[in-house]
Structure 1
């Protein structure tokens, strides 16, 4: 255990150094920073390489480990309920913050370029629901369609519960071995984190430029402030409410995962690291982590929900369209509902923003203004998404251990 603590402590220190040096390198030598993107991209690809086999095998083994459909139903309802609770609290925090600060009310929108916003694909609730069902599981596996993989893995696991023990045993042994192998590979990839973070941060800074950040500093400050408040106060309070453990000590132990999420801007790519860290450093039982974390990587979107709430209210202020209390309640409900459909990939929430803006009747073209800093804020909100996953996983683990 001591060796593991030292390993993660060293990695964390190097990651922080990588973030600082990457920001400096991207600011001073932007041309070189843009050319070395391949290092960061390769790092993310290595992580994504592990996701599909890890998610499928982990969920399958976790469901068989539960032993019964009743246990799965009880644990699943608690998990979904907690994820909805934390997402609702994130949206509520964002709406309150925007009603306090009123940013965007006196910002000129003259000269905006609207081309970026108009390229987003149309979206509907019907297509979102049907997209959860894999018509070809092999295509879903090859394309990395996370929700489809999770749905099939759950159904496959539930069906296997009705098999005889002799039929279940070879399946459990196979997928347990696959899961262990993926986690071992994740350990190797974690060693590359400082280099990957340096490359990704430097590229983002070089591509976006410091000027863009300064131009939207009020908007960025509110988004980041809401994310930090939810991560440092709301989520710890939820963990403390449902358990008796020290939330800040736990978050300190598993901080490797949110840092990784910040650098990759992808909940899915962070999943192998989250599973390894939460078991080794967070004291979570592997069976519980294998069920809750893969589910959270797709349906838990606290950061995305908070970001969408701030962004939509900011656009409403820019457009001079005041939203009533009822409109803001509708916004909150819509964001919580749609957050489940957001893919665990960078910037997928922009599609959700189009849906919300169209529903409320706000001009989609105003998205062009905030798209410029979306990548930077995507890193922040993904880190919060993963932090929420870690909190819910710990709560479920504590409940299961009490049983």
Structure 2
């Protein structure tokens, strides 16, 4: 255990150095920073390479390990309920912050355009539900359609519970071996984290520039402020309420996962790291982590929900539109509902923003002003998404251990 602690402490220290050096490199050597993007991209690709087989195998093994439909139902309902709760709290914090600060009311927004907005199909609840069902599982696996993969893995696991013991043992041995092999590969990729983080951060700074952040500093500060508040106050309070353990000690133990999420801006790419640190550093049972974390990488979007709420209200202020209490409640319900449909990929929330703006009758063109800082904020909100996953996983694990 001491060796593992030293290993992760060393990795975290190097990652922090990578972030700092990446910022400086992006500022002072932007041309070189832009040219070395391939290094960071390769790092993210290595992580994403592991996601599909890891998610499928982990969920299947976790369901087989639960042993019964009743156990699956109990854990599943708790997991979904907690994810909805934390997302709702994130949206509430974001709307409250915007009602207090009222940013965006005196910002010039003339001449803005956003070409992609007109090409998006209108939102349909029916289409969203159908999108969860894989018409061809091999296509879903090849395209990395995470929700479809999770749905099939759950159904496959449930069906396997009805097999004779000999058949279940064969499947369990096979997919357990696949899961372990993926986690071993993840260990190798994690060793590249400091270099990958340096490359990704330096490229973002070189491409976006510090001036862009300064130009929208009030908006950026409110988004980051809400994310920090939810991550350091609300989520720890939820963990403390349900488990009575020290939330900050736990978050310190598993801090490598949020740091990785910040650098990659992808919950899916961070999943192998999250699974490893929760088991080794967070003392979470493997069965719990294998079920809750892959589900959270797709349906838990606290950071995204908070960001969307602030962004939509900011755009409303830019357009001179005052949203009533009823409109804000509708916004909250819509964001919480749609957060399930946000893909665990960088900047997918922009698509959701278009849907919400259209529903509230707000001008989509105003998105052009905030897209410039989206990548920076994407890193922050993804880190919060993963932090929420870690909190919910710990709560569910404590519930299971009590039984």
TM range, smaller chain = over 0.9
Aligned mates of 1:74, 1:114 — CA distance in 2 = 45
| Aligned counterpart, 2:366 | 366
Alignment of 1:2-401 (within 5 A): 2-115=2-115, 117-118=117-118, 120=120, 122-401=122-401
**Larger displacement relative to structure 2 (107-116 or 297-306):** 107-116
Q: What is the SS of the residue equivalent to 2:128?
A: helix
Kept after mapping to 2: 8 A contact 1:118/1:365: no
Aligned mates of 2:399, 2:377 — CA distance in 1 = 34
Aligned mates of 1:94, 1:211 — CA distance in 2 = 25
Aligned mates of 1:19, 1:259 — CA distance in 2 = 10
- Offset at 1:277? 0.5
Aligned mates of 2:181, 2:246 — CA distance in 1 = 32
Kept after mapping to 2: 8 A contact 1:117/1:368: no
- Structure 2, unpaired ranges of 5+: none
Residue by residue, what CA displacement relative to the aligned partner does 1:294-330 show, whole Å, maximum 9, x if unpaired?
0000000000000000000000000000000110000
- Offset at 1:114? 2.9
Q: How many equivalent pairs are there?
A: 403
Q: What is the SS of the residue equivalent to 1:181?
A: helix
Q: What is the SS of the residue equivalent to 1:340?
A: helix
- Offset at 1:126? 2.1
Q: What is the SS of the residue equivalent to 1:92?
A: helix
Aligned mates of 1:220, 1:119 — CA distance in 2 = 27
Residue by residue, what CA displacement relative to the aligned partner does 1:167-204 show, whole Å, maximum 9, x if unpaired?
10000000000000000111111100000000000000
Residue by residue, what CA displacement relative to the aligned partner does 1:197-256 show, whole Å, maximum 9, x if unpaired?
000000000110111111100000000000000000000000000002100000000000
- Offset at 1:115? 3.0
- Structure 1, unpaired ranges of 5+: none
- Offset at 1:110? 1.7
- Offset at 1:121? 5.2
Q: What is the SS of the residue equivalent to 2:194?
A: helix
